[in-house]
A and B are shown apart, each in its own frame.
Chain A
């Protein structure tokens, strides 16, 4: 039995291609439409990769300070959640890498995990402490200084604000299409919360949006929204797809531990999924929300 709606998204027989393999902790997929390429990170392998359809995958930045989530800002510059670097950094057009946020209230962040940009130019990211303790993630300083596991916002004016303070292990995050809701998932609790976003970018109290079910391999990690406001989240057994009411439409079952996802291609209908050891690609009928 399929819930109504899932057929419209996947069709009957979606393809599945492995486009990169042999990775150690793939993550951070983002489509670069200017260059027609997918960028993704290999966290423990300590690299940023590009994949060009028809050409293949190539490591373009190494070492990467164990970079994790990535996106583009409003000027098309690559933004990186620096998991071991403990900063949000940006790649300038000339290739220079610049930290744009490194502390809150004078204290180093825990380990920025995933990142998203709002249309006003402000940048939101999750800050769980996992990057300080996972084996294979050597940073310069492993001490955690901030007691909360928060979601932060860097305003267009350059101020770092603690947007959400009460998370247990915040990981993936994504806006609804109208940017009035910020979805944040909690790896430890296996659920997704929804926060109303005010005009000034601040977030209201969280409410439970969806609790992930399943006993297979996989946790709440990467999360994105499509153009119909369906929410896609990694979880047990693959990618869980919920409608905007939080109802599970179905799962894209994957025999791998999925970590994140991103749409790409000219029509934003190619879905790329990163996992612990590879990156796969499928085609869907509903486009994802374009990045930049």
Chain B
């Protein structure tokens, strides 16, 4: 049985990116990078309102352990916190003193560590380029060290363009959607075992996306988790492959379900609704889609 997606917001100018369910507010928050805004969709009324403006190209969104809303601000090459009083706070994080690249997606674990993927970007940060990008594009993790000081650590050493990340419910596996839809890149869904010391072991390849005469397939752009431990992944495009779709992938990499999306270029997804059974999907066309599903989303946000 295919999931029936309907557009509930948009289209807006430019892509819709990060999307997160705000359990406390019973609403969906999603980011519009080009419009420099965060939007709030209220499923009970169907209304979409501006939640924040002047975000300077915020992509991925997630809630931290205090319930604070975090965003990946590509325009400023940093993570930011959207404080409830309206301020925007910088999350200060440098890797061995160096500025990291362009955070695009993030996940917060039970202990408050912030995992984010840090690819390079063709769109440069605003203003003078004083800080060269890192010579790698990795998954990084912001955590407290033994002296309780905030420190940024490198997690992956074998990624070139990590696009989306997800933690398993037991936080023993890091899922990474690696690679760009461009020549010279692989496009893979990887499962890295997370070791006791916080480092990761060599990954298991769960899915791989190839290329044909029409070019590379797009691969996975965004992921979320259901309560059964499956990965809900959105990706694909109309150019080639099976088209824009939602995949339900087991922790071992089996594709359990595939649902076509009515819009091209899906970007990110999250479960929402009181029962966490509605899947929300953002698209590069600046839209928010929703579908009721028989699945239930896993998340750590307040219920």
Contacts and interface: CB of A to CB of B under 8 A. Distances in A.
Contacts of A44: 130
B76 A143 contact: no
A135 B88 contact: no
A135 B76 contact: yes
Name, among B52, B88, B89, B128, the residue most crowded by chain A CB atoms within 10 Å (CB to CB).
B128
Contact of B90 (A24, A139, A144): A139
A136 B90 contact: no
Contact of B92 (A129, A138, A145): A138
Contacts of B87: 140-143
Contacts of A132: 54, 56, 76, 88
Contact of A135 (B52, B53, B78): B78
A257 interface: yes
B127 A134 contact: yes
B80 interface: yes
B244 to A, nearest CB: 32
Contacts of A24: 130
Contact of A134 (B52, B54, B92, B128): B128
B54 A135 contact: no
A143 B127 contact: no
Contacts of B237: none
Contacts of B131: 135-136
Given A142-B80, A144-B54, A133 B127 contact: yes
A130 interface: yes
A44 B99 CA distance: 13
B77 interface: yes
A133 B128 CA distance: 11
Nearest to A146: B54
Contacts of B99: 135-136
Nearest to A130: B127
Interface in B92-136: 92, 99, 125-128, 130-131
B77 A135 contact: yes
Contact of B130 (A25, A129, A147): A25
A143 B54 contact: yes
B75 interface: yes
A133 B130 contact: no
Nearest to A131: B127
A144 B53 CA distance: 8
B86 interface: yes
A25 B131 CA distance: 11
Contacts of B86: 143, 145
Interface in B7-63: 52-54, 56
A19 B52 CA distance: 45
Contacts of B128: 25, 134, 257, 276
A276 B129 CA distance: 10
5 contacts: A132-B54, A132-B76, A135-B131, A138-B92, A276-B130
Interface of B: 52-54, 56, 73, 75-78, 80, 82, 86-90, 92, 99, 125-128, 130-131
Q: Which 3 A-B pairs have the closest CB atoms?
A: A144-B54, A134-B127, A143-B88
